[in-house]
Amino acid sequence: MKIREITVGLVGNPNCGKTTIFNALTGARQKVANWSGVTVEKREGRLRHGGVSIRVIDLPGIYSLTSYSMEEIITRDFIIDDRPDVIVNVVDAGNLDRNLYLTTQLINIGARSVVALNMFDEATNKGLSIDTEVLGTLLGMPVVKTVGTRSIGITELVERIVQVADGTCETARHIHIPFGDDIEAEIRAAQELMRRDETIGRRYSTRWLSVRLLERDSDAINKLKAFPGHEVILERVAKGRAALERQFDDDIETILSDRRYGFIAGAVRESVRKTAPRRVDVSDRIDRFVTNRYLGFPILFLFLWALFHLTFALGEYPMGLIESGVRHLGLVVERLMPAGALKDLIIDGVIGGVGGVIVFLPNILILFMGISFMEDTGYMARAAFIMDRVMHTLGLHGKSFIPLIMGFGCNVPAIMATRSLENRQDRILTILINPFMSCSARLPVYILFAGAFFHTHAGTVILSLYLVGIVLAFFSARLYGMIFFRGSSTPFVMELPPYRIPTLKSTLLHMWDRGSQYLRKMGGIILAFSIIIWFMGEYPKSPDITREYDARISAVRDEGARELEKARAGGAQAESLDELGASYIGMARELEMQKAVLEKRNTIIGRVGEMLVPLTAPLGFNQQMGISLVTGFVAKEVVVSTMGVLYHANIGNGNGAEGQSLDRAIKRPEYGITPLVAYTFMLFVLLYVPCLATVVVMGREAGWRWAFVSLVYQLLLAWTVCFLFFNAGRLLGF
């Protein structure tokens, strides 16, 4: 038997359980891409039914097929231009009144459809009994009862899809939504004119086009303008519209939507019976607490606290495992491979880079488990409902709140979490200000500097940095809003769906989806970049310096040993022997440090750091600080480890014979770091470029143009703020 392929588009209102139907149809055989040119997700899956291979495309959730939003345009263009064999119109059985509105438009467009009457179990619980035969006949398309979460009715749905595609389904027939004599006359008049040009009819349904033209649909008008002779048609339609509006004393959109709803009311009356009085709504009861005036906020903060802790505290264990795994792998390679440049590349560049990529994975998986839970239960909409008042003053949406809070843990999963924002503008704005939420990778820098320079006030200083971040986030949101999104505040029309119990399957699929996307789409780029930056931090090598300093260091050591021997032979006291030993160790360490600085200076990054001296000096930063800021682009915690190398000190509380701890090293007066410089430095770390991974995620989620805008803006802001702060501080005598 020959395998045929048919294409099926899934269409439905938001919250009608479209995704559960998609998952039930295709299982894990999905791939996710973006619709060309926009960042609306396009999901595609496949299934086999007998000799038919079915390609399923999940279209964005929409209420109507007008051209109000990106999602609507995408769906409509897909139906019209890609001409899928069958449309599966997923409908919430508990809310036919509203859901069937989209169905009337599918009828109008002339798409061959199957209705999946989803969540009919909930409808039954509500006391609704729906006659699918009658409804199907009225709509002219087969109606199948389904429960997506439990895969009920899916087999029948697939059978119907194939029947409709084959043209063997008896229920499927082309019907018209009756608009009433006066309007029908206008539609016919327009159709009449269109039939003069055969090409129009071949490309579009003339009835659909006429109705859309009557409704002043700009997209339909543009479509028509591709044909010669469109002026006559448009003129006729405009005249007809004006007459109708005068006659009914209302605008045409209202008149037409009234007719559609009239049709729906009729269909519902014929096919739905209320078998039992409606019971008390569980969702209302839950909402009595969850969006309560006094309890709403405490409950929200409890949820967020739990989400944050799960993501970042629980996530720490697998992260620790990953880190030690990477280290062990490094050690194994260390033992197996001969020394040389290739070995360095593999251990520090590749293995280190891979570690840097997968280290985010536990966070991403746990966060998306939580977010998926919040979205599937319906709590996410409530959180947005509660927070919108606050977020709206910043030009943001209620739903921006959760990604922003998650930013305090790590900006990478937080930016990925902005996907719950349907509106592109809200999403981009939320992504752009996310780096100002001081992530946990910046904390080591704060701890080092605040601990070294502010002792007992370290906590207050660190808190002040977080607050500065928040304030500047708000400021930047306003500024971005003014520059890029002027005057267009998006309306807050958000459904508050009934509470539902999430299924493990959908949660796992969601996690899997995000995790694999991260690895595939971002992992590669992050890895490539980190190898490049590692290379820039190591090369070119400076063998002359290394050789020279190694010789000098061993000379000092030898001399020290000889002197010590001499002194011991001369019967010196133990104390003075120690002193002597310490002074040679100090000299050797000083040389080690000079060597490290010189070596680093000679590398590409070092040279960049040196080139930047004119920029970093006005902020009071010394050269080591400048270089570590450059390396800190990979990840903010690298700032600390670079400083460890440059000051040749142990990070943490190492106080072995070799070297000293970093917090004491940076305090030595000869490096010129005052508390003012230290604070300025922390400020700079807070504000300057988000880490490499964040930039990549930004580029992937918002587009590279926005990633670039953010990069430039943050550098400028960081420098300006630090410059002002440092000089003001100096004037005040700090």
Partner 1 sequence: MKLEDETPGREDSFESTDLSANMEDYMETIALLASRHRVVRVKDIARALKITMPSVTAALGKLREKGLIHYEKYGFIELTDRGRRVAELVYRKHSFLRRFFREVLGMERDSADEEACRIEHHLSPEACRRLYRLVEFHDAEHGAENEWTGRLQGILEEGPLSELREGQSAAIVRVLGDSPLRKRLMDMGFRRGEKITVVKYAPLRDPMELSIKGYHLSLRVEEARDIIVRPLERGRHRRRHGRE
Chain positions contacting partner 1, by CB under 8 A: 63-64, 66, 68-69, 94-95, 97-98, 101, 253-254, 257-258, 261, 283-284, 287, 291-294, 296-297, 381, 384-386, 388-390, 392, 398, 491-498
Smallest separation, CB 706 to partner 1 (Å): 23
Nearer to partner 1, 470 or 494 (CB): 494
Element housing 731 (H / E): helix 704-731
Lookup: tokens for 511: 């996690």
Nearer to partner 1, 97 or 592 (CB): 97
Lookup: tokens for 711: 């990069």
Smallest separation, CB 118 to partner 1 (Å): 14
Which DSSP string do the residues of 230-243 spell out, in sequence order?
A: HHHHHHHHHHHHHH
Nearer to partner 1, 343 or 392 (CB): 392
Smallest separation, CB 20 to partner 1 (Å): 18
Query: 627-655 burial string, b = 16+ CB within 10 Å, else e?
Result: bbbbbbbbbbbbbbbbbbbbbbbbbeeee
- CA-to-CA separations, 22 to 55, 71, 96, in angstroms, rounded: 11, 17, 20
Instruction: Tell me the H-state helices in 570-674.
Output: 574-602, 604-611, 613-616, 623-631, 638-646, 662-665
Nearer to partner 1, 247 or 292 (CB): 292
Nearer to partner 1, 118 or 680 (CB): 118
Nearer to partner 1, 92 or 663 (CB): 92
Smallest separation, CB 107 to partner 1 (Å): 15
Nearer to partner 1, 38 or 386 (CB): 386
Distance CA 712, CA 708 (A): 6
Instruction: Tell me the H-state helices in 65-205.
Output: 70-77, 96-109, 120-125, 132-139, 154-166, 181-194, 198-203
Smallest separation, CB 492 to partner 1 (Å): 5
Nearer to partner 1, 470 or 496 (CB): 496
Distance CA 402, CA 304 (A): 8
Nearer to partner 1, 289 or 708 (CB): 289
Question: Do the Cβ atoms of 677 and 618 come closer than 8 Å?
Answer: no
Nearer to partner 1, 94 or 560 (CB): 94
Smallest separation, CB 326 to partner 1 (Å): 46
**Is 381 in a helix, a strand, or coil?**
helix
Nearer to partner 1, 493 or 504 (CB): 493
Distance CA 387, CA 33 (A): 31
Smallest separation, CB 69 to partner 1 (Å): 8
Smallest separation, CB 387 to partner 1 (Å): 9
Nearer to partner 1, 246 or 293 (CB): 293
Distance CA 282, CA 349 (A): 55
Distance of CA 561 to the CA centre of its chain: 60
Query: 80-119 burial string, b = 16+ CB within 10 Å, else e?
Result: beeebbbbbbbbbbbbbeebbbbbbbbbbbbbbbbbbbbb
Closest-CA residue to 449 (of 723, 619, 666): 666
Handedness of CA 209, 212, 213, 214 (dihedral sign): positive
Smallest separation, CB 188 to partner 1 (Å): 25
Residues 6+ apart with CB under 8 A from 405: 304, 308, 414, 437
Smallest separation, CB 112 to partner 1 (Å): 23
Nearer to partner 1, 95 or 602 (CB): 95
Distance CA 129, CA 2 (A): 41
Smallest separation, CB 379 to partner 1 (Å): 14
Smallest separation, CB 482 to partner 1 (Å): 19
Smallest separation, CB 498 to partner 1 (Å): 8
Please report how many Cα atoms fall inside a 13 Å half-sphere around the Cα of residue 436, on the Cβ side.
22
**Is 291 in a helix, a strand, or coil?**
coil
Lookup: tokens for 639: 């700032």
